[in-house]
Structure 1
Amino acid sequence: MSQRTRLLDRTIIGGRRLLVGLCTSRAVFTGAGAWLTAALFVATGLYGMERGGHMPAAIETARDMGDAAANLAGLRIANVNLSGQNHVTPGDILATAGVKPTSSLLFLDAEGARMRLEELAWIKRATVQKLYPDRLDIQIVEREGFALWQKDGKINVIARDGTVIAPYSDDPRYIRLPIVVGDGAQTSVVEIVEALSLVPGVRDQVAAAIRVADRRWTLKMRNGVDVRLPEQGLNDALEQLALLDQQKSLLSRDITIVDLRLPDRVSVRLSDAAYAAREAELKAKAKAKKGSSS
């Protein structure tokens, strides 16, 4: 049983007891008694609507009646000023705020409208002001797309705080956003994006940053090389990588993995072709050395 139903139950029972008390004490049935009887009938009606599931429709009807009366008094919402919206359409804003062609300024719940607007993914902050007699101002501060987050084969645009804003589309505003992948990547996205911004030479070669066990990052480079980064010392590892690439063209070599997880060494894994070529070269050198010594 809902709290509203329990309250109505108590109201009806209490009203009936009071009415019986008035009758048994031979109280004069004056205007006060009439008001009590009317209140009891109203409570009984509300109780019946609650039990019958008609309460939402009844509330909506009562609101429409109130709006109609307020509109006749000159309090119809005639002007709505919207500002700050870019991704959210005016229609979505008005519908979420509960503003209809028949809405009155008097009965619009500005605080409720603000709270509903801020539940929309794109909206970070909203302000709703009623300016009597007929003007409504709604100011929107939208979230900005900060990165693309891929998980379970789906790509979404996320805000700086990791909030999922919208599914990815071919919108030109999204094409250059960095891509992060995996569980936890959305909540740690600022860490990797800001760290890569300090090494633009490396950043521009990154296809995606993959979150591993929600502890560290692996960079997937555009040429297929994986760069395994440490849990601690992320910025130092990226600076080291940038220096090695600048001085030795590390990321352009025929390798598959660069491992920077240990602070005192850099490990590199050759591609299969490079490894086979390396082995053949070593065997040729060993053979030549053996021949020269015999």
Structure 2
Amino acid sequence: MNELQVLPEPARGPQLWWGMVFLLVVLVGMGYAAYRLNVWLDDEQQLPVRDIKVSGELKYLVKQDVENAIRKNQPGSFFELDIERALLDIEALPWVYRASIRKDWPNNLHVHVVEQQVVANWNDDMLLNSQGGTFNAAQPEGLVLPKLYGPQGSEQTALQGFRAMQALLARSGVSVSELVLTERFAWNLRLDNGLGLNLGRDEFIDRLQRFVDIYPLLKKDERRAEYVDLRYDTGLAVGWQKTTAEISKG
């Protein structure tokens, strides 16, 4: 009967030790390589953001302001630049309505900006955009804007009313230079010819139509109208400017 011989296992201690040493060396090498790569990527001198391209139909926004907003709070490294932070900084600029930004390899940025479309001056201290939002910016020199006034939170209502009335008055060749929406939501207008209109709260478009209908008669009158009060169910009241003789009398 054959006996089964069991051979002794070879000694594995030295091989296991050398394997662990080799693995440790590999891991240390990989860690050092990753560290050096990270240092290189963070070094703005190695890969700086060189060119920031700004696109969009810009009328009042200065492109240099966009670049300054990005570089002010960001490291110079292309890879370290935080896109979300840069976007917040750009959209914080007064004349920026909306923006997008992307990285262009190897070290450029492309920023697309939608500029605020200003339509009116709001309460003498803000500007009103075409969506009815306010923004804090200086009115550009030489830009003539209608003046809108109203309670806080009434910007959308005032703008909608302004547009509707502006469209109606355009048929008569006049436009709104000043609109006041009172705390009680009554409408008062000043036209570009200096004529004041008091429309009240209710059915202000119908009342304005009544003015449009009689405006040709007012223009024919030798006297000059100062204001027209339309707060009546039917009819209206006209206030006339004083003549030179009337002013001299009293």
Equivalent residue in structure 2 for 1:179, among 147, 163, 179: 147
Preserved contact between residue 166 and residue 176 of structure 2 (Cα < 8 Å)? no
Per the alignment, do residues 140 and 266 of structure 1 end up closer, same or farther by CA in structure 2, a change over 3 Å counting?
same
Per the alignment, do residues 269 and 127 of structure 1 end up closer, same or farther by CA in structure 2, a change over 3 Å counting?
same
**Count of matched residue positions in the alignment of Structure 1 and Structure 2:** 205
Give deviations 1:110-166, integer Å, cap 9, x for gaps. 011112211222111111101222121111111111112343xx5x43312231342
Amino acid paired to 1:189:
L
**Equivalent-residue separation in structure 1 for 2:66 and 2:202 (angstroms):** 44
Amino acid paired to 1:180:
L
Preserved contact between residue 196 and residue 202 of structure 1 (Cα < 8 Å)? no
Uncovered stretches (5+) of structure 2, i.e. residues with no partner: 1-23, 25-37
- The equivalent residue for 1:193 is 163
- The equivalent residue for 1:76 is 48
**Equivalent-residue separation in structure 2 for 1:270 and 1:109 (angstroms):** 64
Preserved contact between residue 200 and residue 231 of structure 2 (Cα < 8 Å)? yes
SS in 1 for 2:214: helix
- The equivalent residue for 1:163 is 134
**Equivalent-residue separation in structure 2 for 1:191 and 1:234 (angstroms):** 9
**Equivalent-residue separation in structure 2 for 1:250 and 1:205 (angstroms):** 19
TM norm structure 1? 0.58
Preserved contact between residue 162 and residue 189 of structure 1 (Cα < 8 Å)? no
**Equivalent-residue separation in structure 2 for 1:112 and 1:251 (angstroms):** 63
Per the alignment, do residues 191 and 237 of structure 1 end up closer, same or farther by CA in structure 2, a change over 3 Å counting?
same
Preserved contact between residue 223 and residue 241 of structure 2 (Cα < 8 Å)? no
Amino acid paired to 2:134:
T
Greater CA drift, 264-273 or 157-166: 264-273
- CA RMSD in angstroms comes to 3.4
Preserved contact between residue 181 and residue 210 of structure 1 (Cα < 8 Å)? yes
Higher relative contact order (CA 8 A, sep 6+): 2
| Counterparts of residues 34-183 of structure 1 (less than 5 Å) | 69-71=42-44, 74-84=46-56, 85-98=58-71, 103-151=76-124, 156-160=126-130, 161-171=132-142, 174-175=143-144, 177-183=145-151
TM norm structure 2? 0.67
**Equivalent-residue separation in structure 1 for 2:82 and 2:97 (angstroms):** 20
Preserved contact between residue 68 and residue 102 of structure 1 (Cα < 8 Å)? no
Preserved contact between residue 225 and residue 255 of structure 1 (Cα < 8 Å)? yes
Preserved contact between residue 207 and residue 230 of structure 2 (Cα < 8 Å)? yes
Task: Name the % identity.
Answer: 20
Per the alignment, do residues 139 and 146 of structure 1 end up closer, same or farther by CA in structure 2, a change over 3 Å counting?
same
Query: By how many angstroms is 1:178 displaced?
Result: 1.9
Query: By how many angstroms is 1:93 displaced?
Result: 0.8
Uncovered stretches (5+) of structure 1, i.e. residues with no partner: 1-30, 32-64, 277-294
Is 1:269 the counterpart of 2:242 in the alignment? no
Query: By how many angstroms is 1:106 displaced?
Result: 0.4
SS in 2 for 1:146: strand
Preserved contact between residue 75 and residue 132 of structure 1 (Cα < 8 Å)? no
Give deviations 1:54-109, integer Å, cap 9, x for gaps. xxxxxxxxxxx96874445x532122211124322222212212368971110000
SS in 1 for 2:137: strand
- The equivalent residue for 2:208 is 238
Equivalent residue in structure 2 for 1:229, among 182, 199, 203: 199
**Equivalent-residue separation in structure 1 for 2:63 and 2:219 (angstroms):** 52
Query: By how many angstroms is 1:169 displaced?
Result: 4.3
Higher helix share: 1
Give the greater-gyration-radius structure (CA): 2
